[in-house]
Amino acid sequence: MKTLVVGAGGREHALAWKLAQSPRVQTIFVAPGNAGTDQLATNVPIPATKIKDLVSFARQEKIDLTVVGPEAPLAAGLVDAFTAQGLSVFGPTHKAAAIESSKVFSKNLMKKYKIPTASYAVFTDAGQATDYVRRQKMPLVLKADGLAAGKGVVIAQHEDEAVAAVNNILEGSLFGAAGNRLIVEEHLDGEEVTVLAVCDGKHILPLVSSQDHKRIYAGDRGPNTGGMGAYSPVPALTPDLFTRVEQEILKPAIYALAAEGFPFTGVLYAGVMLTAAGPKVLEYNARFGDPETQAVLPRLETDLVDLIEAAIRGELDQIQLAWNPNAALTVVLASAGYPGPYKTGYVIEGIDEAMQFADTHVFQAGTACVDGKTVTAGGRVLAVTGLGHNLKIARECAYTAAEKIKFQGCYLRPDIGWRALSSP
Ligand code: AMP
Ligand code: GLY
């Protein structure tokens, strides 16, 4: 079969790598891809949000299955456009993707269907929001409604910061249309976990748990990033808590979206805070996580095509997933300056050497091929995943391989997995 992966990051490299293991897959295209996907697939120079061009390409090449990585094309209706042309595609429709693309829609859905989440209020008027914020206890969380590439959330420790965030989001130009509405939310304490679930509109099949590391510096300090590393499974998510996430957070969301008339097919990402009062939703995303996917997919033994096709047919209840019992840990190598401004175009050495290690995978993200050399082309440049009998061994594998990879200004967090590894 001929497949197409839409996107250009480490997540998409991991998806293409997993598709390549399926005996059912003969051809993989990645649009637009990176230097890593170019080695196991054919890159197509169409940006992920050029939906019309992607439809034309898929029709022309007679693509049998398209898998979408990032949120922007989902929110822009890629799945609707492909389906209208009779093309098989895995991901939610524009309307179902609103669970990620509008935080107000998502919070209101959670409230209506009694899904546990932080209490909140929605504002469009900066004056009213400021009055409200001044009456709340700190810390307080302020969020822009729309997609803001992970940068739309401010955790204000003091009233002044909260008031500044109100103005930045509602009146500043920083968030564009994403900032037309503001959510002010209760601050939740606890450990964060991600649970991804494959969904077919009616049924869900949760994947193994993972934990992202969103902050740039060790010890979870500094500004938020797209994610600096991940590991799987998360010991803090006990079997009992995992069942609660499935029953109280994932199943009700799929039920709610179907009941509202927007059945969700694709991957539902639950970002969950394990609070003293039980698991609560921080956010839903409408897609695989990045870098969580790079830690989760290497553990999946089931054929990804069988799984995705069952989801598209609405037959997920027929599938039982098989998992590698090993732990996985992924460390991201980033450009100096990320998540702020950074330079690109530096030659990357040592990828082949890193790939020689057993139980190790290198997933490329912000890379490009220039004059036969692999060079940096983004903020998050690569992700290295190690597997092992336990998390400690997985960490050793990941960091030993990551050490072989060199480029000017390479930055990585030295402490991926610290919460799990430092707990008794
Ligand atoms: P979001 O995009 O909504 O997941 O927010 C990004 C990050 O902000 C989350 O991964 C959390 O680390 C943090 N965050 C969001 N909402 C809250 C909250 N209500 N309480 C504490 N931290 C939060
Ligand atoms: N790792 C966070 C995300 O994919 O949104």
Model pLDDT for residues 274-301, shown as the tens digit of each residue = 999 999 999 999 999 999 999 999 999 9
E strand spans, 313-403: 327-334, 360-364, 367-370, 373-376, 380-388
What pLDDT score does 203 carry? 96
Nearest CA to ligand 1 atom 2: 150
Q: How far is the CA of 379 from the centre of ligand 1 (A)?
A: 21
| Structure confidence at residue 178 (pLDDT) | 63
Is the pLDDT confidence value at 159 over 60?
Answer: yes
User: How far, in Å, CA of 263 to CA of 54, rounded?
Assistant: 24
Average pLDDT of the residues in 49-62: 98
Q: Which CATH superfamily is domain 191-318 in?
A: ATP-grasp fold, B domain (3.30.470.20)
**CA 185 to ligand 1: nearest atom:** 19
The confidence band for 151, taking pLDDT boundaries of 50, 70 and 90, is low
Q: Is residue 174 predicted with pLDDT exceeding 70? A: no
- Is residue 118 lining ligand 1, measured as CB closer than 6 Å? yes
Same fold, 125-180 and 191-318: no
Instruction: Assess whether the C-beta atom of 227 lies below 6 angstroms from ligand 2.
Output: yes
- Give the CATH superfamily of 327-422: Phosphoribosylglycinamide synthetase, C-terminal domain (3.90.600.10)
Answer with the residue of higher pLDDT: 173 or 417: 417
Across the chain, mean pLDDT equals 95
The fourth-level CATH superfamily of domain 125-180 is ATP-grasp fold, A domain (3.30.1490.20)
Check if 266 has its Cβ closer than 6 Å to any atom of ligand 2: no
pLDDT: which is higher, 173 or 95: 95
The closest ligand to the CA of 196 turns out to be 2
* pLDDT 10s digits, 181-201: 899 999 999 999 999 999 999
Assess whether the C-beta atom of 66 lies below 6 angstroms from ligand 2: no
Ligand 1 proximity of 287 Cβ (cutoff 6 Å):
no
Taking alpha carbons only, the member of 184, 194, 107 closest to residue 139 is 184
Contact 40, 102 (CB under 8 A): no
Over 70: is that where the pLDDT of 150 sits?
no
Tell me which ligand sits closest to the C-alpha of residue 295: 2
- Which CATH architecture is the domain 2-91 placed in? 3-Layer(aba) Sandwich (3.40)
151 within 8 A of 227, measured Cβ to Cβ: no
Q: What are the structural domain ranges in the chain?
A: 2-91, 125-180, 191-318, 327-422
Residue with CA at minimum distance from ligand 1 atom 4: 283
pLDDT in the model for residue 205: 98
Average pLDDT over residues 339-351: 97
71 or 172, higher pLDDT: 71
Distance CA 410, CA 398 (A): 16
- CB of 70 within 6 A of ligand 2: the answer is no
Closest CA relative to residue 94, chosen from 66, 74, 71, 72: 74
